[in-house]
Amino acid sequence: MTRQKTKYVCKDCGYETPRWLGKCPSCGEWGSLIEEVSSLKPGRRLGDVSMGCAPRPITELESTGAMRLTSGISELDRVLGGGIVPGSLVLIGGDPGIGKSTLLLQVSGAVSRDVHVLYVSGEESSNQVKLRADRLGIYSDNLLVMPEVDMERIEHWIRNISPGLVVVDSIQTVFTKDLSSAPGSVSQVSECAGRLMRTAKELEIPICIVGHVTKQGAIAGPRVLEHIVDTVLYFEGERHHSFRVLRCVKNRFGSTNEIGVFQMRDTGLSEVSNPSEVFLSGRSRMVSGSCVTASVEGTRPILAEIEALATRTPFGVPRRTTTGVDSNRVAIILAVLEKRAGLGLSSCDVYVSVAGGARLNEPATDLAIACAIASSFRNALCHPDLVIIGEVGLSGEIRAVNRIESRVAEAAKLGFGKCMIPAPNVGLRINHENLQVISVRTIGDALELAMKR
């Protein structure tokens, strides 16, 4: 007979306690402890010493750095650091309907041209997967589809087939019979992810798993899930926009700052080789409150349009609404504009947005946000051929930013005539014949030079 045990597990961090608590002692979240009844079969031995690999000198080990598997999608290979590493476990999260399954099915179709691919669908039947494959134009005998949620059966077929790539959609639907808790619970997700990780390392087979996200945008399940896997990718984008951004937040085999840009079409996800041109395609040049900035995501500079709207509020407390930028950072910029530039924004509603559904998180976009807000407040146009780059300090000074050469080069490549940069960056190697570089030291100087006369 099995041994049953009742415990309370935090759904955010995986902390376990024998009794219920209102607040998790580990992560501090309220109401995150849920009750689980787990059963463990007798005689199950964890960490059997008769199994595993014997210790070996590191000089005798072979490096697999150059043996990456090409996914067939260059944007995904860029985010992964050059391709899929054999034996790696990749987790892809995102909002429902954002395109996670579509992306992985396209990858499966591309990889199946050379090797066998096992696509495990826990949410859809084989006919439903076939309908999506027909829409994407995927026809390959090497692509094997298996609608299964039993972890033991999945492991059995992985070992029998020995595919070149395994896709599990999704990890919240997979369960193991060794635990009596429901699929998607903390213990089930942790155990199944751990088994997939051990299978991937043992057989040197790359495995991609799909993870659901919570209302806050984090991957559902215990936080330990992100620690188990080798790579964590987030699929971002507004459902009302056709553009999708694949962002890497953890990568043991490459950079964690790379992004890939896609566009959702009727035939699936298509790569966007020049995101700057796409994000600026619908820009209006004759409207106040619009500025262009250069942000660096990984090794790629991207130009994006910052839109702002400042209007008098009839209420006592003004609203501050942001989309695509950090709201706390915008609040600091508003305080600097009021204190150092003399703009009376305390009685105005301020709305700031990044056009195209992009998200900008680096401080180099501060000056563009400040100029867009000031342009809307003064109802004065910014120069339409000006790219604004710089970090704003609390005293109103403009601080230097990194990768200024690549930012200016991207602005020159897209035909902009002027580029505003911090004065400390002027000494770097910036040489473009058709681009005028303007240096500023304070927020006041930047506002005067940015407004169109």
Q: What pLDDT, in 10s, does the model give residues 160-172?
A: 999 999 999 989 8
- Give the pLDDT confidence score for residue 17 in this predicted structure: 87
Angle among Cα 197, 250, 87 to the nearest 5 degrees reads 30
88 with 197, same domain: the answer is: yes
Q: Is the peptide bond before 170 cis (omega within 30 degrees of 0)?
A: yes
Side-chain half-sphere exposure of 267, counting CA atoms within 13 A: 4
Reading the block at residue 102, the tokens are 């579509």
> What are the Cα distances from residue 48, in Å, to 1, 45, 51?
22, 6, 6
132-156 burial, b for 16+ CB within 10 Å, e for fewer? bbeebebeeebbbbbebbebeebbe
Task: Tell me if 148 is assigned to some domain.
Answer: yes
Q: Last residue of a domain, which of 253, 273, 293?
A: 273
Mean pLDDT of 353-368: 89
Task: Tell me if 90 is assigned to some domain.
Answer: yes
Task: Tell me if 60 is assigned to some domain.
Answer: no
Structural domains of the chain, count: 3
225 with 85, same domain: the answer is: yes
- Give the pLDDT confidence score for residue 160 in this predicted structure: 94
Higher pLDDT residue, 283 or 177? 177
Residue 3 reports pLDDT greater than 80: no
Residue 157 reports pLDDT greater than 70: yes
Is the pTM higher than 0.75? The answer reads yes
pLDDT digits (tens, 9 = 90+) for 106-147: 999 999 999 999 999 999 999 999 999 999 999 999 999 999
- Give the pLDDT confidence score for residue 316 in this predicted structure: 83
Reading the block at residue 344, the tokens are 């009376």
94 with 13, same domain: the answer is: no
- Give the pLDDT confidence score for residue 43 in this predicted structure: 47
Task: Tell me if 95 is assigned to some domain.
Answer: yes
Q: Last residue of a domain, which of 238, 273, 308?
A: 273
- Give the pLDDT confidence score for residue 52 in this predicted structure: 57
Residue 4 reports pLDDT greater than 80: no
Q: Which domain holds residue 7?
A: 3-39
Adjacent-strand bridge partners of 225: none
217 with 82, same domain: the answer is: yes
- Give the pLDDT confidence score for residue 277 in this predicted structure: 82
pLDDT digits (tens, 9 = 90+) for 227-275: 889 999 998 876 667 788 898 989 998 888 788 889 888 888 999 888 8
16 with 125, same domain: the answer is: no
429 with 298, same domain: the answer is: yes
Residue 430 reports pLDDT greater than 90: no
Contacts of 212 (CB under 8 A, 6+ apart): 93, 96, 170, 172, 219, 220, 221
Q: How far is CA 244 from the centre of its chain?
A: 10
Per-residue pLDDT band at 89 (split at 50, 70, 90): very high
Sheet holding 348-354, edge to edge: 320-323, 348-354, 300-312, 290-297, 386-388, 418-422, 436-440
88 with 125, same domain: the answer is: yes
268 with 160, same domain: the answer is: yes
Angle among Cα 393, 397, 399 to the nearest 5 degrees reads 70
Of 26-30, 204-208, 351-355, give the lowest mean pLDDT range: 26-30
Mean pLDDT of 351-376: 92
How far apart CA 134 and CA 120 sit, in angstroms, is 17
Instruction: Please report, rounded to a whole number, the percentage of residues in the chain having pLDDT higher than 70.
Output: 90
Mean pLDDT of 416-421: 93
109 with 154, same domain: the answer is: yes
- Give the pLDDT confidence score for residue 45 in this predicted structure: 47
Task: Tell me if 57 is assigned to some domain.
Answer: no
How far apart CA 183 and CA 167 sit, in angstroms, is 18
247 with 287, same domain: the answer is: no
Q: What is the CATH number of the domain that holds 398?
A: 3.30.230.10
- Give the pLDDT confidence score for residue 55 in this predicted structure: 86
215 with 308, same domain: the answer is: no
Task: Tell me if 63 is assigned to some domain.
Answer: no
Contacts of 99 (CB under 8 A, 6+ apart): 235, 237, 244, 262, 264, 269
Higher pLDDT residue, 218 or 60? 60
Q: What is the CATH number of the domain that holds 146?
A: 3.40.50.300
- Give the pLDDT confidence score for residue 46 in this predicted structure: 45
Task: Tell me if 48 is assigned to some domain.
Answer: no
Would you call 358 exposed, middle or buried from its count of C-beta atoms within 10 A (0-12, 13-18, 19+)? buried
CB atoms within 10 A of CB 20: 10
Angle among Cα 27, 31, 32 to the nearest 5 degrees reads 50
- Give the pLDDT confidence score for residue 220 in this predicted structure: 54
Mean pLDDT of 320-338: 95
Nearest to residue 150, comparing CAs of 186, 126, 120? 120
- Give the pLDDT confidence score for residue 452 in this predicted structure: 65
9 with 155, same domain: the answer is: no
Task: Tell me if 155 is assigned to some domain.
Answer: yes
Mean pLDDT value across the chain: 87
Residue 83 reports pLDDT greater than 70: yes
Residue 190 reports pLDDT greater than 70: yes
